[in-house]
Amino acid sequence: MTTVSSLTPALHLDHPPDLQVNGMTKRFGSLVALENLSMRLKPGSFHALLGENGAGKSTLVKCVMGFYQPTAGEVLIDGHSAQISNPRDAHRYGIGMVYQHFTSVPAMTVAENLVLSRFGGGGVINWKAELEELQAFMSSSPFQVPLETPIAQLAAGQKQKLEILKQIYLHSRILILDEPTSVLTPAEADEVLGLLRQQVSAGELSVLMISHKFREVTAFADEITVLRKGKFAGSGQVSQLTVADMAEMMMGEQKTPTPVQKNSQPNAVPVLEVRQLSAQKDNGTAAVSGLDLTVYSGEIVGIAGISGNGQRELVEVLAGQRVASAGEVWVNGEQYNATRAEMYRHQVFSLPEEPLRNACVGHMSVAENMALRTFDRPPQAKGILLILQAIRQTAVGLISQFSVKTPSPETPVQNLSGGNVQRAVLARELSAEQIKLLIAANPCFGLDFAAVDFIHTQILNARNRGVAVLLVSEDLDELLKLSDRLIVISGGQFTYQSPTATAEYTAIGHAMAGH
């Protein structure tokens, strides 16, 4: 801690330095996550890092930041080898990163997080002076976040803005963004990236952005580097590449999106009925109130809305993670309380958001996680004994069927890349013989386009088999593509309902904003 003051002078660089990565390799045990990768981030450029889920993008930037220690390779700053052994060192070179998962401390306020993020400084914090300074900083910064609010109470979009604000506050000159827009609405994403783009164009900042969204890459980036299975797979100027070129570099083959095909469902029966449902947030205030909703078999009902408008609580009630404060849920004509027995009897499956937290046991293996629905009945169990062989075999089958990239079925699920955790959960939830009801929340959050295509196809196939699907998503394009009926939730209430075919884009936007 004493070395801090000697590091601070380098903080206020005027211009972004030149960043080069040389022969970077990172192994996790026997798994090679990154192999001999080299790339260069020119000063004052906006560089996109592309690659499938698990390609090693996050691993690369975490090695640059000193969050991971690379097995081999080095980082060059302005041509000189730089010793970066932790994020504090990276900061000394003007490099700051917004991680894929939020890195603000949930129990602390925005102000506390900002002060904490400022490496070094005196031991005692003079809150009065600090707050005045922060207020001044906030009013001159591109976006505003309330200073006294605890992080836990911020909506996802605000949290992400704070993460970026933090780096501006720290005067970072190289900004590494790991999927910065996955929690933002398209409008918010454009706003945030546009402001950063301005700073890049002015020569004040370099940006290295990991993204799965080609739209953003073509709109904001100058250059791309593509990773495939931990290795360099190509690079180039965005102006000279088409989206198809980039996709081909990522996959190593050409791939066109699977067309949406829906069949008609003649004998639709109501599967999920929600009656006057109310639920509370963690802090006891109303999250949703008086919701009525029916989902028929062979139908996808989409729920659109900006995050934090009650979607999460609604899904949690349906998944049995939260107790409703009023109202009833009926499935297949029977009252439903989301007990394990009822889930099995009615064949209800769910794909909650943040699957690592809501649908997995992180330190248990992929195979064990895939068996969470079935381990207690034959063939995976006999009496009170588990048949581990059967559990493993099922997992091996699901891993190949859903192409989950994992070193082995025994790997703890928390070590998989974000996209592969999602696939593992989807494999478990969609593998049952006869699903009646599927509840999915933001199923494609942070997935590469191949995975998105895969999951969309799986959801559509389920619908065409007669499954009733409730799809809650913050991605309006996804909803317009998949759902048969569209409902907008705002402030815990349904503010708009329409068949998707006749839904009006502007009316949806208005309803989402709560007008």
The binding site for ligand ATP (CB under 6 A) comprises 28, 31, 33, 51, 53-59, 100, 405, 415-419, 448
Based on CB atoms, which residue is closest to another protein, 108 or 195?
108
CA gap 178, 191 in Å, rounded: 17
Based on CB atoms, which residue is closest to ligand ATP, 57 or 485?
57
Is position 129 an interface residue for another protein (rule: CB under 8 A)? no
Minimal distance, residue 75 CB to ligand ATP, in Å: 17
Is position 101 an interface residue for another protein (rule: CB under 8 A)? yes
Minimal distance, residue 44 CB to ligand ATP, in Å: 25
Is position 123 an interface residue for another protein (rule: CB under 8 A)? yes
Based on CB atoms, which residue is closest to ligand ATP, 96 or 419?
419
Considering Cα of 161, then 164, then 168, then 169, what sign does the dihedral take? Answer: positive
CA gap 355, 414 in Å, rounded: 10
From Mg ion, ligand ATP, another protein, none, interface partner of 415 (C-beta below 5 to 8 A by class): ligand ATP
Minimal distance, residue 389 CB to another protein, in Å: 26
Straight-line distance from the first to the last Cα atom of the chain, in angstroms, rounded to the nearest whole number: 51
CA gap 500, 300 in Å, rounded: 10
Minimal distance, residue 208 CB to ligand ATP, in Å: 13
CA gap 48, 208 in Å, rounded: 6
For residue 476 the two structure tokens come to 């309006």
From another protein, ligand ATP, Mg ion, none, interface partner of 107 (C-beta below 5 to 8 A by class): another protein
CA gap 205, 168 in Å, rounded: 10
Residues 47-76 that bind another protein (CB under 8 A): 67
Residues 255-314 that bind another protein (CB under 8 A): 280, 282, 284
Residue 65 exposure: Cα atoms within 13 Å on the Cβ side: 20
Which of 17, 44, 51, 87: binder of another protein (CB under 8 A)?
87
Is position 125 an interface residue for another protein (rule: CB under 8 A)? yes
CA gap 23, 454 in Å, rounded: 33
Which of 10, 136, 243, 323: binder of another protein (CB under 8 A)?
323
For residue 417 the two structure tokens come to 């890349």
Phi, then psi, of 224 in degrees rounded to 5: -130, 155
**Count of Cβ atoms closer than 10 Å to residue 81 Cβ:** 10
Based on CB atoms, which residue is closest to ligand ATP, 38 or 461?
38
**Size of site (CB under 5 A) for Mg ion:** 2
Contacts of 172 (CB under 8 A, 6+ apart): 91, 94, 95, 96, 205
Residues 103-122 that bind another protein (CB under 8 A): 103-108, 112, 115-117, 119, 121-122
Which of 20, 45, 58, 422: binder of Mg ion (CB under 5 A)?
58
Is position 127 an interface residue for another protein (rule: CB under 8 A)? yes
Question: What is the distance, to the nearest Å, from the Cα of residue 144 to the centroid of all Cα atoms in its chain?
Answer: 23
Q: Cis bond leading into 150, ω under 30°?
A: no
What is the chain's alpha carbon radius of gyration, rounded to the nearest angstrom?
Answer: 24
Q: Give contact residues for Mg ion (rule: CB under 5 A).
A: 58, 100
